[in-house]
C-alpha cells in the first residue's frame, strides 16, 4: 500500500441492524459507547492490552499485548499461516524493519506517505487536518438543529469525499468553516504534508538516512529475483511476510485501532499480467457474502449479498486471482469468529485507487467505531517491481517460452573489419566496440547520414576523440527474427492484513455481557472459537478448606493432568485460588477460555463448556486426550456431549463451595 491507500475509518458509519442487535444483546443498551466501556473494562482490566510503558506515562498510540491478548493474536497468526501460507505453499521470508532511504524513495514513501497536518499558531500543537474537518461536520450534523437541509447535505457529501481532498481544499474548508484548534480555540496554520515514517540514521557517520518500514511489502519486492529463482523460475507464486510496521501518526485516536506500531501480514502474489485465472477459484466461486461494489457506493445504496463466482464473471471483481483471495479472506475471517453479517468487501472508488492499480477491495468489519478496514486486497499490476527496477537498473522480470514464436524486428550492426583494420590500426578494437554499443536511435541516424553523405563523424569515448566512419566500414540494418522466449514484469496481487485491527474487531464480535443469576453483577464472556482463545482450558482443583487432606490429593491430580496437557501441547492454566469453582468459571469465561476441567474426585473430573455451560464427567485418565481431540478438531463439544455422562452443576461437589 502507498499513501493514497492508507487505512482510515471509512465514512460509512451508518449502523446496520446487525450491529444494533449485537450491541443490544451485548449489554442491554443500544449505545456503542456503553458497549465499548464494558468491553474496555475487560480488555484493560484482564491485561489483553496494556498502554506501552504506562508507568513512565508512555506516549499515545503505542499498546502492548498482555498475556491473553498476545495469545489471541498468536493463534490468529497461526491460523493465518495454515490458511494461506501452508495451503498455497507460499514462500515466507523475513526482512528488516530498518530500511535505507533509497528503497523508500523508489517505492514513493519518502515523497508521498503523508498526512495533512495543521498547527495551533500559538501553542504549536499539531492536529490532523481531516480529523478537524470531520469532527466539525459530525458535530454540526448531530448538535446544530438550526442548519438548513442544504447545509446538512453539503456536510454529509464532504464527509464522503474527505479522505481524497487535496491539501488546498482542506485548507479552504478550514477557513470557510472557521475551524480553530479544539483545545485552545486559537487559529490554525495553513495545512501541510507530514511524512508518517519514523526517521533514523544508520551507522555511526550520520550519512545514511533510514526509516522504520511503513509496510513489509517493499522487502519482498526487492527480493523478487531471489524468490523467483528459489521457486525454480515458476510463476505464479506468492511470497509473504509477517512483521512490525511503523507509522508516526499525527494524533492517534481509537485505542488499538490506530497505533504507531503494528503487525502486518502481507502476501505478494506474482502472476502473469495476461493470465490471472486461478486453478482453485472454483472452490470459492459459490460463496455468497456482503459485497459493496463501487457503483452501489456512488449511487447511495448499501452493501448486498453477492455470489463471488458471479461477481468475477460479470467483471465486478476484475479477475479470478483477486476473486480467489477475496473468497479465502472471507473464509479466514469467519473461521476466526468474525460475524459474517458485520463483514463486507468494499471496492475502492476510482479516485481512491492509485493510478496504476487495477482493482482493490477492502475487507471491512463493523464495530462500535463504525466500519474498519482490516484487509486490503489489491491488484497493483507491475507498479512495484517497475519502481524498484527503474531506481536500481536491475531487471525484476520473469521469463516465458512463447507457445507460438513471435516475430520481432532486431537491430543488427556489423562492423566490416577488413575496412576498419587498415583505417584505424591499433584503435580498431575501440572503434568496433563503440559502433556495436550504439542504441537503435543512434544507429539509424548514422545509417541515414552514411546513405546521404557517404561518411560521418563518430565520437569514440574510449579514444576521447572523433573518427570518420565511411559507408563501407559498417553495415546497419533491421532484421526480422523469430523469438521463442522473452521476459515480462509480473503483476502483483496483494492481500495485506492489519493483524492488530483483526484482533480488536474479533474481541468486539466475541464479547457479550449478561447479568448474573442473582442479578447483582454483570458477567462478561468472550465467545472466542477454541482455536483462537487465549487458552484451550483451565484446570481447577476443588478446594474444600484449608486443612482438608483431599486438597493435596486434588492438587496432585491437577498437576498430573497439567503435565499430560503440556505433553499434548495444549495451552492451559491452573487456578488454585481458594474461591468457589463458580467464581473461577466466571473469571475463566471473562478471559474467553472455552473449557474448564474441575478436579473434584480422585478418579474423575468434570469438563465444562463455556457457552452452553454444559458439563460432562470424564475419567481422570481420559481428560487430557478429550481436550487434545477437540484442540486437533477431531472431536467437537457436541461429540463429547453425546459420548460422556452429563454432569449437573447442582449435584456437583463444586456447587457446595
Binding to a second copy (CB under 8 A): which residues in 91-120? 91-100, 102-103, 106, 117
Reported in sequence order, the residue ranges of 181-310 that DSSP labels E, i.e. its strands, are 192-195, 199-202, 208-212, 237-246, 261-271, 288-292, 304-307
For a second copy, which is the closer residue by CB, 10 or 389? 389
Name which of residues 193 to 252 contact a second copy (CB under 8 A).
194, 198-205, 208, 210, 212, 219, 222-223, 225-227, 229-230, 232, 239, 243-244, 246, 248, 250-251
For a second copy, which is the closer residue by CB, 194 or 528? 194
Counted residue by residue, the chain has a size of 657
CA–CA separation, 49 and 68 (whole Å): 9
What Cα–Cα distance (Å) separates residue 263 from each residue in 161, 364, 496? 28, 17, 11
For a second copy, which is the closer residue by CB, 10 or 598? 598
CB of 597 to a second copy, least distance (A): 15
| Cα 89 to chain centroid, rounded | 19
Question: In this structure, are strands 288-292 and 261-271 parallel, antiparallel, or unpaired?
Answer: unpaired
CB of 218 to a second copy, least distance (A): 8
Of the residues 11, 108, 126, 273, which one makes contact with a second copy according to CB under 8 A = 126
Of the residues 13, 21, 25, 53, which one makes contact with a second copy according to CB under 8 A = 53
CB of 404 to a second copy, least distance (A): 18
Contact 160, 195 (CB under 8 A): no
For a second copy, which is the closer residue by CB, 89 or 517? 89
Rg (CA), the chain: 32
For a second copy, which is the closer residue by CB, 18 or 331? 331
According to the binding rule CB under 8 A, does residue 52 interact with a second copy? yes
Name which of residues 570 to 599 contact a second copy (CB under 8 A).
571, 573-575, 577
For a second copy, which is the closer residue by CB, 226 or 409? 226
Nearest to 529 by CA among 626, 606, 637, 629: 637
According to the binding rule CB under 8 A, does residue 304 interact with a second copy? no
CB of 112 to a second copy, least distance (A): 17
For a second copy, which is the closer residue by CB, 30 or 78? 78
Of the residues 36, 73, 380, 608, which one makes contact with a second copy according to CB under 8 A = 73
CB of 208 to a second copy, least distance (A): 6
CA–CA separation, 382 and 273 (whole Å): 8
For a second copy, which is the closer residue by CB, 173 or 535? 535
CA–CA separation, 480 and 120 (whole Å): 67
CB of 268 to a second copy, least distance (A): 13
DSSP string for residues in 358-400: SEEEEEEEEETTEEEEEEEEEE-TTHHHHHHHHHH-----EEE
Provide the β-strand partners of residue 306.
Answer: 289
Q: Which three cell numbers stand for residue 62?
A: 503505542
For a second copy, which is the closer residue by CB, 93 or 444? 93
Name which of residues 551 to 570 contact a second copy (CB under 8 A).
566, 569
For a second copy, which is the closer residue by CB, 51 or 653? 51
Name which of residues 474 to 503 contact a second copy (CB under 8 A).
none
Of the residues 25, 30, 87, 154, which one makes contact with a second copy according to CB under 8 A = 87
Sign of the CA dihedral 636, 642, 647, 650? positive
For a second copy, which is the closer residue by CB, 445 or 569? 569
For a second copy, which is the closer residue by CB, 388 or 447? 388
Element (H, E) at 476: strand 474-488
CA–CA separation, 202 and 100 (whole Å): 8
CB of 24 to a second copy, least distance (A): 31
Contact 440, 410 (CB under 8 A): no
CB of 33 to a second copy, least distance (A): 25
Name which of residues 316 to 355 contact a second copy (CB under 8 A).
none
CB of 361 to a second copy, least distance (A): 26
- Give the count of residues interacting with a second copy (CB under 8 A): 85
Name which of residues 390 to 449 contact a second copy (CB under 8 A).
391-392, 394, 396
Of the residues 63, 361, 383, 526, which one makes contact with a second copy according to CB under 8 A = 63
CB of 181 to a second copy, least distance (A): 14
Name which of residues 155 to 194 contact a second copy (CB under 8 A).
194
Contact 283, 266 (CB under 8 A): no
CB of 447 to a second copy, least distance (A): 36
For a second copy, which is the closer residue by CB, 58 or 182? 58
Provide the β-strand partners of residue 281.
Answer: none
DSSP string for residues in 559-603: HHHHHHHHHTT--EEE---SS-HHHHHHHHHHHT--EEEEE-SSS
Q: Which residue has the cell 480553530?
A: 180
Q: Rounded to 5 degrees, what are φ and ψ at 91?
A: -95, 115
Question: In this structure, are strands 49-51 and 199-202 parallel, antiparallel, or unpaired?
Answer: unpaired
Provide the β-strand partners of residue 307.
Answer: 288
What Cα–Cα distance (Å) separates residue 228 from each residue in 87, 220, 394, 484, 489? 19, 11, 14, 21, 12
For a second copy, which is the closer residue by CB, 230 or 459? 230
Name which of residues 21 to 50 contact a second copy (CB under 8 A).
46-47, 50
CB-facing half-sphere around the CA of 302: CA atoms within 13 A: 9
- Any idea what the Cα angle at residue 376 is, between residues 335 and 40, rounded to 5°? 60
Q: What is the DSSP letter of 28?
A: S
Provide the β-strand partners of residue 457.
Answer: 468
CB of 194 to a second copy, least distance (A): 5
Of the residues 33, 89, 401, 518, which one makes contact with a second copy according to CB under 8 A = 89
CB of 220 to a second copy, least distance (A): 10
Name which of residues 367 to 396 contact a second copy (CB under 8 A).
388, 391-392, 394, 396
CB of 484 to a second copy, least distance (A): 17
For a second copy, which is the closer residue by CB, 205 or 651? 205
Helix, strand, or coil (residue 206): coil
For a second copy, which is the closer residue by CB, 328 or 447? 328
DSSP string for residues in 131-167: HHHHHHHHHHHHH-TTS-HHHHHHHHHHHHHGGG--H
Name which of residues 248 to 277 contact a second copy (CB under 8 A).
248, 250-251, 260-261
CB of 64 to a second copy, least distance (A): 4
From the list 24-32, 86-94, 144-152, 470-478, the region that binds a second copy by CB under 8 A is 86-94
CB of 92 to a second copy, least distance (A): 5
Amino acid at each position: 500500500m502507498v499513501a493514497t491507500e492508507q487505512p482510515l475509518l471509512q465514512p460509512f458509519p451508518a449502523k446496520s441492524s446487525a450491529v444494533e442487535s449485537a450491541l443490544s444483546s451485548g449489554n442491554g443498551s443500544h449505545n456503542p459507547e456503553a458497549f465499548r466501556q464494558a468491553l474496555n473494562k475487560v480488555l484493560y482490566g484482564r491485561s489483553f492490552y496494556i498502554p506501552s510503558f504506562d508507568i513512565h506515562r508512555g506516549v499515545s498510540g503505542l499498546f502492548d499485548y498482555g498475556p491473553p491478548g498476545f495469545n489471541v493474536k498468536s493463534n490468529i497468526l497461526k491460523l493465518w499461516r495454515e490458511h494461506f501460507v501452508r495451503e498455497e505453499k507460499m514462500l515466507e521470508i523475513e526482512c528488516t524493519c530498518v530500511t535505507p532511504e533509497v528503497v523508500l524513495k523508489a517505492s514513493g514513501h519518502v515523497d508521498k506517505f503523508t498526512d495533512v497536518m495543521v498547527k495551533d499558531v500559538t501553542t504549536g500543537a499539531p492536529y490532523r487536518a481531516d480529523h478537524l474537518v470531520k469532527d466539525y461536520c459530525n458535530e454540526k450534523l448531530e448538535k446544530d438543529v438550526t442548519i438548513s437541509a442544504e447545509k446538512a447535505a453539503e456536510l454529509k457529501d464532504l464527509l464522503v469525499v474527505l479522505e481524497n481532498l487535496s491539501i488546498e481544499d482542506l485548507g479552504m474548508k478550514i477557513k470557510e468553516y472557521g475551524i480553530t484548534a479544539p483545545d485552545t480555540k486559537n487559529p490554525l496554520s495553513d495545512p501541510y504534508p507530514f511524512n508518517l515514517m519514523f526517521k533514523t540514521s544508520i551507522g555511526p557517520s550520520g550519512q545514511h538516512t533510514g526509516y522504520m518500514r511503513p509496510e513489509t511489502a517493499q522487502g519482498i519486492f526487492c527480493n523478487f529475483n531471489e524468490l523467483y529463482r528459489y521457486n525454480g523460475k515458476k510463476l505464479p507464486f506468492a511470497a509473504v511476510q509477517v512483521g512490525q510496521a511503523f507509522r508516526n501518526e499525527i494524533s492517534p485516536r481509537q485505542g488499538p485501532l490506530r497505533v504507531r506500531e503494528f503487525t502486518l501480514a502481507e502476501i505478494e502474489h506474482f502472476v502473469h499480467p495476461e493470465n490471472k485465472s486461478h486453478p482453485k477459484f472454483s472452490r470459492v466461486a459459490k460463496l455468497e457474502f456482503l459485497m459493496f461494489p463501487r457503483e452501489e457506493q456512488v449511487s447511495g445504496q448499501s452493501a448486498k449479498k453477492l455470489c463471488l463466482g458471479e461477481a468475477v464473471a460479470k467483471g465486478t471483481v476484475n479477475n479470478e486471482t483477486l476473486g480467489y483471495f477475496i473468497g479465502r479472506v472471507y473464509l479466514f475471517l469467519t473461521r476466526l469468529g468474525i460475524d459474517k453479517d458485520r463483514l463486507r468487501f468494499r471496492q475502492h472508488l476510482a479516485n481512491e485507487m492509485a493510478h496504476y492499480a487495477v482493482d482493490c477491495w477492502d475487507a471491512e468489519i463493523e464495530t462500535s467505531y463504525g466500519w474498519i478496514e482490516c484487509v486490503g486486497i489489491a491488484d497493483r499490476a507491475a507498479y512495484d517491481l517497475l519502481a524498484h527496477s527503474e531506481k536500481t537498473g536491475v531487471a525484476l522480470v520473469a521469463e516465458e517460452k512463447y507457445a507460438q514464436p513471435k516475430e520481432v524486428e532486431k537491430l543488427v550492426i556489423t562492423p566490416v573489419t577488413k575496412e576498419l583494420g587498415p583505417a584505424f590500426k591499433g584503435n580498431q578494437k575501440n572503434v568496433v566496440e563503440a559502433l556495436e554499443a550504439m542504441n537503435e536511435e543512434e544507429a539509424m541516424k548514422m545509417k541515414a547520414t552514411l546513405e546521404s553523405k557517404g561518411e560521418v563523424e563518430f565520437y569514440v569515448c574510449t579514444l576521447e576523440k572523433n573518427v570518420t566512419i565511411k559507408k563501407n566500414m559498417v553495415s546497419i540494418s533491421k532484421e526480422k527474427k523469430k523469438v521463442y522466449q522473452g521476459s515480462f514484469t509480473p503483476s502483483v496481487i496483494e492481500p495485506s492484513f492489519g493483524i492488530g485491527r483483526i484482533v480488536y474487531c474479533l474481541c468486539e464480535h466475541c464479547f457479550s455481557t449478561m447479568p448474573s443469576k442473582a442479578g447483582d453483577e454483570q458477567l462478561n464472556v468472550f465467545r472466542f472459537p477454541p482455536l483462537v482463545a487465549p487458552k484451550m482450558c483451565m484446570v481447577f482443583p476443588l478446594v474444600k478448606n484449608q486443612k482438608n487432606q483431599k486438597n493435596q490429593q486434588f492438587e496432585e491430580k491437577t498437576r498430573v493432568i497439567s503435565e499430560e496437557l503440556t505433553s499434548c501441547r495444549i495451552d492451559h492454566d491452573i487456578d488454585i485460588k481458594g474461591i468457589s469453582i463458580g467464581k473461577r468459571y466466571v473469571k475463566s469465561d471473562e478471559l474467553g477460555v472455552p473449557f474448564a476441567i474441575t478436579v473434584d474426585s480422585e478418579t474423575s473430573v468434570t469438563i465444562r463448556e463455556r457457552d452452553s455451560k454444559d458439563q460432562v464427567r470424564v475419567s481422570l485418565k481420559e481428560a487430557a486426550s478429550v481436550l487434545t481431540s477437540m484442540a486437533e478438531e477431531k472431536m467437537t463439544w457436541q461429540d463429547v456431549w453425546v459420548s460422556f455422562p452429563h454432569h449437573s452443576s447442582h449435584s456437583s461437589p463444586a456447587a457446595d463451595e
